[in-house]
């Protein structure tokens, strides 16, 4: 299998007030404050995730569910939990889908949000699970660079384990939906004709809608 880098230019943006509705709070989670994804400094982003939880992604191809196990990667699980419940992933595209390898998402369509999250990095978790089909993992640009981008493995990518990619959850429902995500654009530039991550960070959703309109997107992501 050819070597494919998992370089990510991670998101962020200027703070703007806009508290999310408490309707997205998971029942029985004990979380009283919903973070505002426009403001990554919001103290609610420090909320610890439950030991296990499920996140449902409703997409343009259908629904899939990721079951998260905090013991696998605590820092990654906490970040993912708070991003989902804040509504960060709503409307976000699967911008890098490589059949046989993985499907990646997490760069926000609002460039202000992208800018705000760019330096909001979390430290690495030890790799306790192997990157095999269906497992969900944060993308990185090297040690200590995880922010908002996630990929779902399509196959056995155990070579990523030694590179520090720590799975935090697994697709337990709807893997057939993940398999159907549009991947004909292929790898991003300069390796392929897919989206340029630099331009996506700078131009946001307008760039993807104009040049890569067939990319699937997340309609809503919620904690079950």
160: in domain:
yes
Instruction: Give the integer Cα–Cα distance in Å for 71 and 61.
Output: 30
Q: Are 18 and 50 in contact (CB under 8 A)?
A: no
Predicted confidence at residue 181, as pLDDT, reads: 98
213: in domain:
yes
Instruction: Give the integer Cα–Cα distance in Å for 2 and 20.
Output: 42
4: in domain:
no
Predicted confidence at residue 3, as pLDDT, reads: 37
Could you tell me the residue range of the domain that residue 148 belongs to?
50-223
Could you read off the pLDDT of 53-94 as tens digits, one per residue? 999 999 999 999 999 999 999 999 999 999 999 999 999 999
17: in domain:
no
Predicted confidence at residue 33, as pLDDT, reads: 92
Q: What is the pTM of this model?
A: 0.86
Counting the structural domains of the chain, the total is 1
Instruction: Give the integer Cα–Cα distance in Å for 84 and 81.
Output: 5
33: in domain:
no
Predicted confidence at residue 19, as pLDDT, reads: 35
15: in domain:
no
106: in domain:
yes
Predicted confidence at residue 22, as pLDDT, reads: 37
Q: What tokens appear for 6 in the block?
A: 């998992």
12: in domain:
no
- Of the candidates 169, 175, 101, the residue with the CA atom closest to the CA atom of residue 129: 169
Stretch (H or E) spanning 198: helix 197-203
Query: Got the DSSP string for 146-201?
Result: BSS-EEEESS--GGGGGGT--EEEEEEE-HHHHHTS--TT-SBTTTSSB--HHHHH
Q: Are 30 and 197 in contact (CB under 8 A)?
A: no
Block mean pLDDT (10 aa), the chain, length 224: 38 33 41 87 97 98 98 98 98 98 98 97 98 98 97 98 98 98 95 95 97 98 98
Q: What is the CATH number of the domain that holds 201?
A: 2.40.100.10
């Amino acid at each position: 299998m050819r070597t494919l880098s998992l370089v990510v230019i991670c998101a962020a943006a200027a703070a703007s007030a806009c508290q999310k509705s408490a309707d997205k709070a998971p029942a029985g989670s004990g979380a009283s404050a919903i973070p505002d994804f426009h403001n990554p400094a919001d103290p609610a982003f420090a909320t610890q995730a439950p030991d296990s939880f499920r996140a449902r992604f409703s997409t343009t191809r259908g629904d899939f569910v990721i079951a998260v196990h905090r013991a696998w990667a605590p820092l990654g699980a906490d970040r993912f939990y708070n991003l989902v419940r804040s509504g960060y992933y709503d409307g976000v595209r699967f911008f890098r889908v490589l059949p046989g390898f993985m499907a990646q998402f997490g760069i926000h369509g609002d460039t202000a949000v992208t800018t705000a999250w760019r330096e909001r990095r979390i430290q690495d978790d030890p790799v306790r699970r192997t990157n095999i089909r269906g497992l969900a993992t944060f993308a990185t640009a090297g040690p200590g660079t995880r922010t908002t981008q996630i990929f779902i493995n399509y196959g056995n990518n155990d070579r990523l384990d030694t590179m520090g990619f720590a799975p935090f959850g697994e697709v337990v429902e709807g893997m057939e939906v993940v398999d159907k995500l549009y991947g004909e654009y292929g790898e991003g530039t300069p390796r392929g004709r897919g989206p340029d991550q630099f331009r996506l960070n700078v131009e946001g959703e307008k760039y993807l809608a104009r040049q890569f309109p067939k990319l699937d997107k997340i309609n809503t992501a919620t904690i079950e």
